[in-house]
Amino acid sequence: MKEIAFRVGGAAGDGVASTAETFARLCVRGGLWVHTYSSYQSVIRGGHCWTQVRAGSEPVLSQGEDPDVLIVLNQETADIHVPLVRDGGAIVYDEQLSKLDAHAVNPRVRRVALPMFRTAQDLGESMMKNVVALGASLALLDIPFEPMEKAIREVFGHKKPEIVEMNLKAGHTGYDAIASKGGSLGLGIPIAQGPGRMMMTGNEAMSLGALAGGCRFYAAYPMTPASAILHWMAANGPKHGIMVKQAEDELAVVNMAIGAAHAGARAMCATSGGGFSLMVEALGQAGMTETPLVAVLVQRTGPSTGLPTKTEQGDLNLALGAGQGDWPRAILAPRTASECFTAIVKALNLADVYQTPILVLSDLYLGEGNRTLDRDALDFNVPILRGFVADGNGDGKGYKRYRFTESGISPRAFPGMKGHQFTAATDEHMESGILISDVLAGVPPWVEERRKMMEKRMRKLEGLRSEMSLPELWGPPDADLTIVSWGSTSPTVREAIGRLSAEGHRVNSLEFSDIFPMRGAEIQEIFEPLKTTIMIEANYTGQFARLLRAETGCKADHLFTKYDGEPFWPREIVDRAIQVMKHGA
């Protein structure tokens, strides 16, 4: 595979993210596969942020490693990133914005000084310095200018024609300057007219999944890194019949969604750990009233406010334990953007069929990073399962909303259906919905009734268990080492395994994407033949390792956790795998 890593760094407000996104989109249009990772902070102006775009001729699984091309928009970027640029690469900088430490620069890296700021200012808008740098980057990487011209026209076309012309001039100035500064780097990236792939984040893929899956009510309160779902839904939902509401807090969000679901709309909400913590009581409510709901938890670094702009897989215990008492739930943890789409469709169907909350976990790394997708990865032709609904011919008596059934699934009725009136209660109730809690609790026949109602609800957990896909064992079956992972970490593990294989090691990957409830016996069968196992996850205590052991008895031999807020880099996994294979620890 031919590949490059492009990195741009500056202060918040410098346009780092949009510059990187434009570059990534040009790569995708040129037939490459991209993976972006943004490191940013919880400020609107200032600070230090950078985005890496890794682009390759084949699917790229992670953010890669150090950059080939670095755009420096401020001094901090120079100080931190200049020493990292790889042999044969280039640093594009502006002497007016930053000074390079001559000792820090790798002699095999080209320094490209461009008066980006002045050029932009002379053209009338200093923010266009990024456009100058982007033009230069294209020339360095043999990417033709035409796609950039098209992109500029798309972005600014609705504004004044002068603005389009200014940006085109800025881009050309950067592009043309490279000819006199050593020309292209000759890294050999095969840019062509691409086959028309898409680029989107996990959050966007989830939004599309909600649309495809027939979601009709979406509520949220802004919270990084889940807000982009709200933004896409707000911009697009109403066109397609989805009602989208920003509520006063996550308590209102989840209760509104439950109210909408109770009335018959497929409902979803998304948040991060703090908001999810506020939703906890209501999730149990939906478990008790048997109301379908999809709740998405896009994890960031905890505890508490933690690092709001950093990634982690630390909220698994929160999702598993949300709500007092036991109630049936399923937890899905998509690994990729395309799985973000399918997981939401699946969650919406499971919620309606099992009449209980389904939780979907992703994280900042997957939710906010851009990935390349083939059109085939998003199949909108999906079944919409509404589950067991009453026939609508009730006589006003004898309807049992919570009828005891073998599956634990009882016939739903929606307010407005004649003759099926009932009260859904968070108190323990009879099959009819009438409360047991207040005057009947503890009275002999009702002790039995409570037990039976509890068992009825929990039978749905067994149904959900049968719906969970088994973990995927990827790579050679007779490997010496198996790396176990869940959710967004799995693709990076695959990349590490690719490198380990190239070095002659036999390593494979056991990847969980449907993570609760677990099909214990079958997972045991997969797990037991494995020689040596290492669990890799982004939290302090190894929350998934513990879940796996509790649910299946399978214990990973080694645990590699990370909790510094950064995603796993492939080299870290390679190093740890080699360490385990060589030294057994």
Q: Which of 113, 127, 198, 307 binds other proteins (CB under 8 A)?
A: 198
Nearer to other proteins, 430 or 473 (CB): 430
List alpha helices for 290-407, DSSP H.
316-321, 337-354, 364-368
Cα distances from 417 to residues 292, 352, 512, in angstroms, run 18, 18, 41
Identify each DSSP E strand in 145-252 by its residue range.
Answer: 198-201, 217-220, 243-246
Which among 159-167, 432-440, 469-477, 525-533 is the span making contact with other proteins, rule CB under 8 A?
Answer: 432-440
State which residue, 100 or 247, has the beta carbon closest to other proteins: 247
Instruction: Spell out, one character per residue from 212 to 231, where the chain touches other proteins: x when CB under 8 A holds, - when not.
Output: x-x-xx-x------------
In angstroms, the CA 431 to CA 403 distance is: 5
Q: Which of 128, 168, 170, 244 contacts other proteins by CB under 8 A?
A: 244
Identify whether the C-beta of residue 494 lies closer than 8 Å to the C-beta of residue 485: no
Q: What angle do CA 458, 463, 467 make, to 5 degrees?
A: 135
**Of positions 108, 159, 418, 451, contacts other proteins by CB under 8 A:** 418
- What's the min distance (Å) between Cβ of 353 and other proteins? 15
Among 41, 277, 317, 421, binds other proteins (CB under 8 A): 421
Distance CA 171, CA 26 (A): 13
423 binds other proteins (CB under 8 A): yes
Q: Determine which residue in the list 199, 322, 333, 545 makes contact with other proteins, applying CB under 8 A.
A: 199
Q: Is 149 in the site for other proteins (CB under 8 A)?
A: no
Residue 152 binds to other proteins (criterion: CB under 8 A): no
Backbone phi and psi for residue 100, each to the nearest 5 degrees, phi listed first = -95, 135
**Residue 173 — φ and ψ, nearest 5°?**
-60, -45
**Which of 12, 417, 578, 581 is close enough to bind other proteins by CB under 8 A?**
417
Residue in 211, 331, 364, 453 binding other proteins, rule: CB under 8 A: 211
Residues in contact with other proteins, counted by CB under 8 A, come to a total of 74
**What angle do helix axes 146-156 and 161-177 make, rounded to 10 degrees?**
150
Separation between Cα atoms, residue 140 and residue 181, nearest integer Å:
10
Smallest distance, other proteins to C-beta of residue 396, A: 7
Residue type, 126: S
Q: Rounded to whole angstroms, what are the CA distances from 226 to 11, 24, 298, 545? A: 23, 22, 6, 26
Question: Quick one: how far is CA 231 from the chain centroid?
Answer: 15
With CA atoms as reference, report the closest residue to 485 among 561, 372, 409: 561
Which class for 232: exposed (0-12), middle (13-18), buried (19 or more C-beta within 10 A)? buried
Among 243, 320, 470, 526, binds other proteins (CB under 8 A): 243
Minimum gap (Å) between residue 18 Cβ and other proteins: 15
By beta-carbon proximity to other proteins, the closer residue of 54 and 420 is 420
Decide: is 388 part of the binding site for other proteins (CB under 8 A): no
Is 508 in contact with 494 (CB distance < 8 Å)? no
Length of the chain: 585
Binding piece for other proteins, criterion CB under 8 A, among 107-115, 145-153, 325-333, 408-416? 408-416
Of residues 292, 7, 35, 275, the one with CA closest to residue 137 = 7
Min separation Cβ 425 and other proteins, Å: 4
Q: Which of residues 282-301 bind other proteins (CB under 8 A)?
A: 282, 285, 289
Q: Least Å distance between CB 37 and other proteins?
A: 19
Q: Which stretch binds other proteins (CB under 8 A): 103-111, 125-133, 233-241, 532-540?
A: 233-241
- Of 9, 3, 167, whose CA–CA distance to 77 is shortest? 9
Q: Which two tokens stand for residue 500?
A: 């380990």
201: β partners: 370
Minimum distance of other proteins from residue 151's CB (angstroms): 11
Closest CB to other proteins among 259 and 498? 259
Which residue's entry shows tokens 């020339």? 139
CB of 242 to other proteins, least distance (A): 7
Task: List the one residue from 43, 384, 443, 550 that touches other proteins (CB under 8 A).
Answer: 384
Q: Which residues between 343 and 382 bind other proteins (CB under 8 A)?
A: 373, 375, 378, 380-381
Quick one: which of 370, 386, 366, 361 has its CA closest to 270?
Answer: 361
Q: Which is nearer to other proteins, 127 or 247 (CB)?
A: 247
Min separation Cβ 43 and other proteins, Å: 28
The span from the CA of 513 to the CA of 486, in Å, is 6
Give pairs for 109-113: CB < 8 Å, separation 24+.
Answer: 109/85, 110/181, 110/182, 110/185, 112/136, 112/140, 112/177, 112/178, 112/181, 112/182
Q: Which is nearer to other proteins, 141 or 265 (CB)?
A: 265
Both structure tokens of 390: 């009453």
Rule CB under 8 A: say whether 531 interacts with other proteins: no
Task: For other proteins, give the closer residue by CB, 166 or 294.
Answer: 294
Site for other proteins in 159-178 (CB under 8 A): none
Position 156 contacts other proteins (CB under 8 A): no
> According to CB under 8 A, which one of 125, 142, 149, 281 is a site residue for other proteins?
281
Q: Is 31 in the site for other proteins (CB under 8 A)?
A: no
Binding region for other proteins (CB under 8 A) out of 47-55, 90-98, 300-308, 423-431: 423-431
Cα–Cα distance for residue pair 331/323, rounded to 1 Å: 14
Residue 383 preceded by cis peptide, ω within 30: no
- Beta carbon of residue 274, minimum distance to other proteins (angstroms, whole number): 16
Interaction residues for other proteins, span 250-269 (CB under 8 A): 251-253, 255-267
Rule CB under 8 A: say whether 424 interacts with other proteins: yes
**Residue 239 lies near other proteins (rule: CB under 8 A):** yes
Asked whether position 238 contacts other proteins by CB under 8 A, the answer is yes
Question: According to CB under 8 A, which one of 99, 108, 150, 240 is a site residue for other proteins?
Answer: 240
Least Å from the CB of residue 404 to other proteins: 20
- By CB under 8 A, the residues from 40 to 99 that bind other proteins are none
